[in-house]
Amino acid sequence: MEKATYKSSGVDLDIYAESMARLPGIVKKTFTPNVLRLDGGFAGLFRLNGAAKAYKDPVLVSCTDGVGTKLKLAFMTGRHSTVGIDLVAMSVNDAICCGATPIFFLDYAAMPKDDPALLEQIVSGIADGCAQAGCALIGGETAILADLYAPGEYDLAGFCVGAVEREDVIDGKAVRPGDRLIGIASSGFHSNGYSLIRKAVFEMAALGVDDVVPELAGKTVGELLLEPTKIYVKPVLKLLERFGANSVVRAIAHITGGGLVENLLRVLPDNCAASFDADAIAPTPLFNWVQRLGNIDDDEMRRVFNMGIGLVLAVREDAAGDVAAFLNELGEEARVIGQVRAK
């Protein structure tokens, strides 16, 4: 009689061990002094206080997100080393909206069979993202789910914890009518709207990932659509250190699904609305390109995409010029795009 084994049921513990052996070297570069080593243990350990900082009344800020169907671009191109940056970005950019410093990150990767080389590419990207965000990659899970994922596909989920002194939590309560809205440029689509993008680009326009788009600097479709999400952690933390949370920087919105208006309204007080300067929020050529390919309505575009602005800050009116200049000095493309008004 046949003997069932874990291997014959699709799970090879030896290849799994090989996969796991490759990871410590990759993740170590993200370790900060507060990571406590516990080899072989069941969890990631992080000492909250340390030489650099001792919190009086710490608030932990936690976020989770995935990459969405941007993953399909990785499958189509065979390039798996940047979706991990997107994974980290989607969570850490949420965490900084509360004024928190991202301190550690964990990932969940699910795939149909063990593939050490693929996992190494994915985790390298996650580690790159964590390094950009200054947070430690202290844990993760690789799930082998033979029957749940198609060959060559996978899903990723990320989880970030940040910390902030309670009195420095940015919750939007400090926002006042007259505050200026400063937009920081996105690096492209980030990780939202890819079902719509893929319908426009691959179904309706029938383009392939290797096709060149002359109007967009001659980049390929694959390059344009895989451009990693910008990570705003370091400039925002520098900004908060320089100008202060709530006194000057009064609300921060990460522009994801829902677009500029919906995401900004999430962080404004109920008695406030926003108006935008029409010329300051004109869509970039990248967004025009997808809109044309998919014949997408203007409203739908604004509801789904960041349209070129990935993060919006509400700042005290008299400091708006200084804040924008400071961000530009840090290499960001930042400008006043509107203002808060009474509702």
Q: Is 13 in the site for a copy of itself (CB under 8 A)?
A: yes
**Contact between 343 and a copy of itself per CB under 8 A:** no
Site for a copy of itself in 303-322 (CB under 8 A): 303-304
Is there binding between residue 106 and a copy of itself (CB under 8 A)?
A: yes
| DSSP states of 74-120 | HHHHT--SSHHHHHHHHHHHHHGGGTPEEEEEEEEEEESS--HHHHH
Q: How far is CA 177 from CA 55, 99, 260, in A?
A: 32, 21, 18
CB 27 within 8 A of CB 128: no
- In this structure, what token pair is assigned to residue 149? 């994922």
Q: Report the residue number, 262 or 317, with the smaller CB distance to a copy of itself.
A: 262
Whichever of 144 and 245 has its CB closer to a copy of itself, that residue is 144
3-state DSSP call for residue 72? helix
Under the binding rule (CB under 8 A), the answer on residue 8 touching a copy of itself is yes
* Binding window for a copy of itself (CB under 8 A); candidates: 21-29, 123-131, 195-203, 319-327: 195-203
Residue 90 sits at φ, ψ, to 5 deg, of -60, -35
Give the separation between CA 233 and CA 94, rounded to whole angstroms: 10
Amino acid code (one letter) for 240: L
Through-space distance between the first and last CA atoms of the chain, rounded to whole angstroms: 75
Residues 6 or more apart whose CB falls under 8 angstroms from that of 272 comprise 175, 176, 177, 340, 341, 342, 343
User: Does the footprint of a copy of itself cover residue 199 (CB under 8 A)?
Assistant: yes
Which of the residues 201 through 260 are near a copy of itself (CB under 8 A)? 204, 253-254, 257-258
Stretch that binds a copy of itself, among 19-27, 146-154, 177-185, 312-320 (CB under 8 A): 146-154
Residues 25-54 contacting a copy of itself, CB under 8 A: 36, 38, 40-49
Tell me if 1 contacts a copy of itself by CB under 8 A.
Answer: yes
Site for a copy of itself in 254-293 (CB under 8 A): 254, 257-258, 265-267
Size of the site for a copy of itself (CB under 8 A): 92
Near a copy of itself by CB under 8 A: residue from 27, 61, 118, 239: 61
Interface residue with a copy of itself, options 18, 195, 275, 282 (CB under 8 A): 195
